[in-house]
A and B are shown apart, each in its own frame.
Chain A
Amino acid sequence: MTLEQATFALKRFGLGPRPGDAVRIAGDPRGALLAELATPPPDNLGPEASPDSTAIFLAIRADQEARRIRRAADNATQPMQSGSMAQAMGAGSPVAKASGAGAANGAGMASVATAAPMPGKPKDPKPAPSVSSQIYADEITRRIAAAHDAGTGVTERLVQFWANHFAVQSDKDEMVRGLAGSFEREAIRPFVLGRFEDMLLAATRHPAMLLSLDNASSVGPDSPVGKKRGLGLNENHARELMELHTVGVSGGYSQADVTSLAEVLTGWTFVRDRARPSAGDFAFNPGLHEPGDKRVMGRTYREDVVYAVGNEGQGLAVLHDLATNPATARHLAFKLARHFVADDPPKPLVDRLTATFTSTRGDLKAVGETLLKSDEAWAPTRKFATPQQFTIAAMRALDANIDAPMLMRALGVLGQPIWAPISPEGFHDDKATWLAPDAMTSRLDVADQFAQKARVNLPPAELVEAVLGPAASADTRQAVARAESERQALALVVMSPEFLWR
Chain B
Amino acid sequence: MTDRNSRSAGALAPTRRVFLASVGAFVAWAHMPRAAFAGTRDPRFVVVILRGAMDGLAAVPPIGDPDYAKLRGDIAIGSPGMAGTVPLDGFFALNDAMPKLKQLYGSGEALIVHAVATAYRDRSHFDGQDVLESGLTQPGASRDGWLNRAVTALPRGEAVRPASGLAVSPTVPLVLRGGAPVFTWMPDGLMPVGMDTSDRLAGLYDHADPELARAFAAGRTIDRMAAGGTAVKGGDITASFRRIAIGAGRLLAEPDGPRIAAISFDGWDTHASEGPENGQLGRRLGALDGALDALKTELGPAWADTVVAVMTEFGRTAHVNGTDGTDHGTATTAFLVGGAVKGGRVLADWPGLAPDKLYQQRDLAPTTDLRAVLKGVLRDHLGIAEPVLATDIFPGSIGIRPIAGLIA
Contacts and interface: CB of A to CB of B under 8 A. Distances in A.
Given A459-B126, A491-B197, A121 B188 contact: yes
Nearest to B204: A479
Contacts of A486: 125-126, 129
Interface in B183-219: 183-185, 188, 190-194, 196-198, 200-201, 203-205, 207-209, 211-212, 215-219
A441 B170 contact: no
A120 B184 CA distance: 7
A460 B251 contact: no
A438 B222 contact: yes
Contacts of A448: 191, 193-194, 197
Given A488-B197, A488-B266, A492-B201, A475 B169 contact: no
A292 interface: no
B103 interface: no
Interface string B252-294: 0000000000000011110100000000000000000000000
A500 B267 CA distance: 24
A447 B204 CA distance: 15
B343 interface: no
Interface stretch (A32-40, A111-119, A272-280): A111-119
A441 B209 contact: no
A413 interface: yes
B391 interface: no
| Contact residues of A: prevailing secondary structure | helix
Nearest to A448: B193
Interface stretch (B6-14, B84-92, B106-114): B6-14
A460 B204 contact: no
A336 B385 CA distance: 67
Interface in A425-454: 435-442, 444-449, 452-454
B149 interface: no
Contacts of B198: 441, 444
A495 B193 CA distance: 12
Contacts of B121: none
Contacts of A401: 171
Nearest to B170: A452
Given A121-B14, A440-B216, A484-B52, A475 B204 contact: yes
A461 B24 CA distance: 37
Interface stretch (B15-23, B236-244, B359-367, B394-402): B15-23
Contacts of A79: none
Interface centre among B194, B207, B215 (most CB of A within 10 A): B215
A473 interface: yes
A485 B125 CA distance: 6
Contacts of B217: 437
Contacts of B17: 123
B223 interface: yes
A409 interface: yes
Interface in A103-141: 116-123
A449 B191 contact: yes
A122 B18 CA distance: 6
Given A120-B23, A475-B208, A484 B218 contact: no
Given A122-B18, A496-B204, A487 B211 contact: no
B262 to A, nearest CB: 14
A119 B23 contact: yes
Contact of B125 (A441, A446, A452, A484): A484
Nearest to B8: A122
A386 B122 CA distance: 40
Contacts of A121: 14, 18, 22, 185, 188
Contacts of B10: 122
A120 B171 contact: no
B102 interface: no
A438 B219 contact: yes
Given A452-B171, A479-B204, A492-B204, A435 B197 contact: no
B204 A449 contact: no
Contacts of B18: 117, 120-123
Given A119-B22, A437-B216, A497-B205, A479 B129 contact: no
Contacts of B212: 435, 440, 497, 500
B116 interface: no
B171 A454 contact: yes
B20 to A, nearest CB: 11
A484 B185 CA distance: 23
A329 to B, nearest CB: 33
Interface centre among A119, A446, A452 (most CB of B within 10 A): A119
B315 to A, nearest CB: 13
Nearest to B268: A484
Nearest to A460: B126
Interface string A477-495: 0010011111111011001
Contacts of B336: none
A237 B194 CA distance: 47
A449 B216 contact: no
Contacts of B216: 437, 440-441, 444
Contact of A120 (B205, B251, B269): B251
Contacts of B14: 120-122
A476 interface: yes
A436 B222 CA distance: 11
A455 B15 CA distance: 29
Contacts of B200: 479, 482-483, 488, 492
Interface in A169-226: none
Nearest to A485: B51
Nearest to A409: B190
Contact of A476 (B183, B208, B233): B208
Given A119-B23, A438-B222, A452 B169 contact: yes
Nearest to A122: B9
B196 A488 contact: yes
A123 B183 CA distance: 17
Given A120-B22, A435-B211, A491 B193 contact: yes
B53 interface: yes
Contacts of B233: 441, 445
B197 A444 contact: yes
A437 B215 contact: yes
A495 B207 CA distance: 14
B266 A449 contact: no
Interface in B30-82: 51-53
A453 B204 contact: no
Contact of B266 (A476, A485, A495): A485
B220 interface: yes
A123 B21 contact: yes
A484 B208 contact: no
A119 B183 contact: yes
A459 B174 CA distance: 13
A336 to B, nearest CB: 25
Contacts of A122: 9-11, 13-15, 18
A444 B201 contact: yes
Nearest to A481: B124
Interface in A396-411: 401, 409-410
Contacts of B268: 484
Contacts of A117: 18, 21-22
Interface of B: 9-11, 13-15, 17-19, 21-23, 51-53, 125-126, 129, 140, 169-171, 183-185, 188, 190-194, 196-198, 200-201, 203-205, 207-209, 211-212, 215-223, 233-234, 251, 266-269, 271
The 7 closest A-B pairs by CB, nearest first: A484-B269, A484-B52, A437-B219, A437-B218, A120-B185, A441-B219, A448-B193
Interface of A: 116-123, 401, 409-410, 413, 435-442, 444-449, 452-455, 459-460, 473, 475-476, 479, 482-489, 491-492, 495-497, 500
Given A117-B18, A441-B219, A455-B171, 6 more contacts: A119-B184, A122-B18, A438-B223, A441-B223, A449-B170, A484-B53
18 contacts: A119-B184, A120-B23, A413-B190, A435-B215, A436-B215, A441-B219, A441-B233, A445-B192, A445-B234, A459-B140, A479-B200, A483-B125, A483-B200, A484-B51, A486-B126, A491-B201, A492-B201, A497-B208
